[in-house]
Amino acid sequence: MDGRLDAAGGDPMTPRAVAVKAGLERGWVELRSKLASPWELSGEVWPWIIAVGVMFALRDKKVPGTDFSIGLQAVPGIVGMSLIYTGLMGLALVLTTDRDDGTLLRMKAIPNGTIGYFISKVVSRAGITTAALLIILIPSALLFGDLRVNSVTAWLTLIGIILLGLLATLPIGAVIGAVFGSVQSLGLVMLPVMGLIAISGIFYPITAFPEWVQWIGQVFPVYWLGLGMRSALLPDSMAIAEIGGSWRHLQTIGVLGVWAVIGFAYAPVVLRRMARRGSGTTVKETETAAA
Amino acid sequence: MAVAASRTATGNEGAAAAELAIETVGLRMRYGAKDVLRGVDLQVPRGQVIALLGPNGAGKTTTIEILEGFRGRSAGEVRVLGVDPADGDEYWRARVGIVLQSWRDHGTWRVRDLLHQLGRYYTPFSTPERSKPYGADELMELVGLTAQATARAGSLSGGQRRRLDVAIGIVGKPDLLFLDEPTVGFDPQARQEFHELVHRLANLEETTILLTTHDLEEAEKLSDRIVILAGGKIMADGTAAELGRQVAGQAEIKYSVAGQAQVDHADDATAHVRELFARHGDALGDLEVHKPTLEDIYMTLVREFEAGRWTDASTLPGVTR
């Protein structure tokens, strides 16, 4: 299909592959400039530093009937929350700004520019979110000896779940930001997202909800993200509190993977459409309506 | 399939059609009950620099956004480089350059990095005739931003930022370049420099340029051809000299009869003066005939349009085609 390119002696890569590569480079440049400005980065992470402080204050309180501290039990939830807020919602906010200031339209004017733009946003947002997660995880590991972050398997599981979680949720953030073109309307989206977090067992075990609520929760990636976090950070004995009494690693990978694939396929399409200006009324339709 | 579509535009078959960079037939745009474009027929040959001139609200931006593929139309046929912009694929996109009106985007990027990054997308679209994109350094030299290579886009002056926007618009060496109100908010010196830049671009690799402006002087300076758009229709089309003849307005005739000053307006000044001589004979004095310039007519048009006194080109007082 790209015989035309070979004949032209141009880049042997397909235009889309070139756009993905350019997007990776763009994301890296943006991430570097963000990390180089501590003021901007601190704006992203201070809520989570406060959260760690609260957990520290609660370190001696026990979950009723167990030996586990409330603070310890909350760590995976806070990590999951920060991934959703800094990652998904943070990206939605960036998209809203970029749609407003013309960045999105500029990228649409470039061949495959929307693809490159999307990739770059995923890369830079993933980097910033990872930085935020480290800021939570490192002090937490020092504060709570019971966290499993001293084992290699736990770290590998954690890195895997963070990566998969980011790939599954960042496209959703991009689409939300592109569809709700203003910061004010983005506030409205926060409500259902918070509702979703509430029924996804991030802070309160999902098994306490009626079964139909559990089913809704399990459709979305937030529940699986939280489950994965708990499986990485908490002692295996705590799996007993989960649905089916298991960490369900395979299902976690499956559901998050499906969300990631759908997201990466459709987000660039939605972004391109959203960058477009409004269309005119179809003349025929209006005339029929008037008659 | 997508490749085939753009081939038609570049191929040798249908050479007559391929000579046109832009063609619209009966282009209409309606928002709800408001008609913004009421049937625009426009043909732009390859390599031409054309200015779309008109008062604010005449439909210039709507027209250019439809041609860019950023806006859907209500009715009519549109071909840009042989392709309907509504179906334009990435091969088509790679041949069209757009200078946007926005100026706040990419504020944290350095000029050279940004031009390099945005150019990368064009590499697979190189042809034997046109190797794409421009190198960042060559491009900065061309638009006069070499001294600002490492400056952040957000720190540039208005004129420098506009030149960066032009550089971004042409980074892919487009066959066709769109510039929407490129000099809005410029001081006279920045405007002068910008005009020189557009002249340089026009001579470069046969680029077709379509620009919009509400400034007649700018349209005269920059373009081979001026199309005046008002009330959603083309009301005049030609070189500045042709337009002067085409939109002949009523001449103003000043004279005195026995020392009494008089002013008349007439479509045919010569016939009117002949009649004055016949009627007043030797009593006629101080005769002056002023034919309106293109600028007079354009200013009348803008005034009338902005006062909302007319919305249809055919009812414009004092101007006949």
Interface pTM, i.e. ipTM: 0.83
Ranges in chain B, pLDDT < 70 = 1-18, 245-249, 306, 308-321
What is the number of domains present in chain B? Answer: 2
Q: Is residue B222 part of a domain?
A: yes
* C-beta atoms of B74 and A5 within 8 A: no
Question: In chain A, how long is the greatest CA-to-CA distance?
Answer: 77
Give the contacts of B108 (CB within 8 A, at least 6 positions apart): A30, A33, B152, B153, B154
Same domain, B182 and B291: no
Last residue of a domain, which of B244, B263, B278?
Answer: B244
Same domain, B181 and B259: no
Same domain, B272 and B144: no
Q: Is residue A233 part of a domain?
A: yes
Contact A12, B96 (CB under 8 A): no
Element (H or E) spanning B4, and its range?
Answer: helix B2-10
Q: What is the pLDDT of residue B315?
A: 45
Same domain, B217 and B292: no
Same domain, B185 and B106: yes
Nearest to B173 by CA among B218, B208, B199, B145: B208
Same domain, B119 and B224: yes
Give the contacts of B119 (CB within 8 A, at least 6 positions apart): B132, B133, B134, B135, B136, B139, B171, B172
Q: What is the pLDDT of residue A285?
A: 41
Query: Which residues from chain B sit within 8 angstroms of residue A10, using beta carbons?
Result: 123-127, 131-132
Same domain, B195 and B50: yes
Mutate to test the interface with B, among A2, A28, A34, A110 (most CBs of B within 10 A): A110
Contact B207, B174 (CB under 8 A): yes
Same domain, B116 and B55: yes
Query: Which residues from chain A sit within 8 angstroms of residue B98, using beta carbons?
Result: 109
Q: What is the pLDDT of residue A207?
A: 82
Given its phi and psi angles, is residue A176 left (phi above 0), alpha (psi -120 to 50 degrees) or beta?
A: alpha
Runs of H (alpha helix) within B232-293: 240-246, 269-280
Q: Is residue B2 part of a domain?
A: no
Q: What is the CATH number of the domain that holds B51?
A: 3.40.50.300
Q: Is omega for the bond preceding A12 within 30 degrees of 0, making it cis?
A: no
One-letter amino acid of A211 = E
Same domain, B55 and B153: yes
Contact A27, A121 (CB under 8 A): yes
Last residue of a domain, which of B214, B244, B274?
Answer: B244
Ranges in chain A, pLDDT < 70 = 1-12, 63-69, 145-146, 148-150, 276-291
Q: What is the pLDDT of residue A35?
A: 86
What is the number of domains present in chain A? Answer: 1
Q: Is residue A142 part of a domain?
A: yes
Q: Is residue B79 part of a domain?
A: no
Q: What is the DSSP letter of B319?
A: B
Q: Is residue B114 part of a domain?
A: yes
E-strand ranges in chain B read 20-31, 34-45, 49-53, 75-80, 96-99, 176-180, 208-213, 225-230, 233-238, 251-257, 260-266, 284-290
Q: Is residue B41 part of a domain?
A: no
Q: Is residue B34 part of a domain?
A: no
Q: What is the pLDDT of residue B310?
A: 53
Q: Is residue B309 part of a domain?
A: yes
Q: What is the DSSP letter of A182?
A: S
Same domain, B277 and B215: no
CA angle B41, B42, B47 (to 5 degrees): 170
C-alpha distance from B279 to closest chain A C-alpha (Å): 55
Query: Which residues from chain B sit within 8 angstroms of residue A112, using beta carbons?
Result: 90, 121
* C-beta atoms of B172 and A283 within 8 A: no
Same domain, B131 and B208: yes
Distance from chain centroid for Cα A105: 24
In whole angstroms, give the CA distance from residue A170 to residue A173.
5
Mutate to test the interface with A, among B29, B31, B105 (most CBs of A within 10 A): B105
Nearest to B288 by CA among B304, B272, B305, B302: B272
Q: What is the DSSP letter of A265?
A: H
C-alpha distance from B100 to closest chain A C-alpha (Å): 7
Q: Is residue A284 part of a domain?
A: no
The residue segments making up the domain with residue B112 are 46-64+90-244
Token pair in block for residue B54: 């008109």
β-strand B96-99 against B176-180: which pairing, if any?
Answer: parallel
Residue B30 main-chain phi, psi, to 5 deg = -140, 130
One-letter amino acid of A275 = A
Runs of H (alpha helix) within B128-185: 136-143, 158-170
The residue segments making up the domain with residue A236 are 11-276
Q: Is residue B5 part of a domain?
A: no
Mutate to test the interface with B, among A281, A285, A288 (most CBs of B within 10 A): A281
Same domain, B167 and B265: no
Contact B183, B198 (CB under 8 A): no
Last residue of a domain, which of B192, B218, B244?
Answer: B244
In whole angstroms, give the CA distance from residue B222 to residue B210.
10
The burial class, CB within 10 Å (0-12 / 13-18 / 19+), for A1 is exposed
Residue B74 main-chain phi, psi, to 5 deg = -85, -40
Q: What is the pLDDT of residue B308?
A: 65
* C-beta atoms of B124 and A278 within 8 A: no
Q: Is residue A50 part of a domain?
A: yes
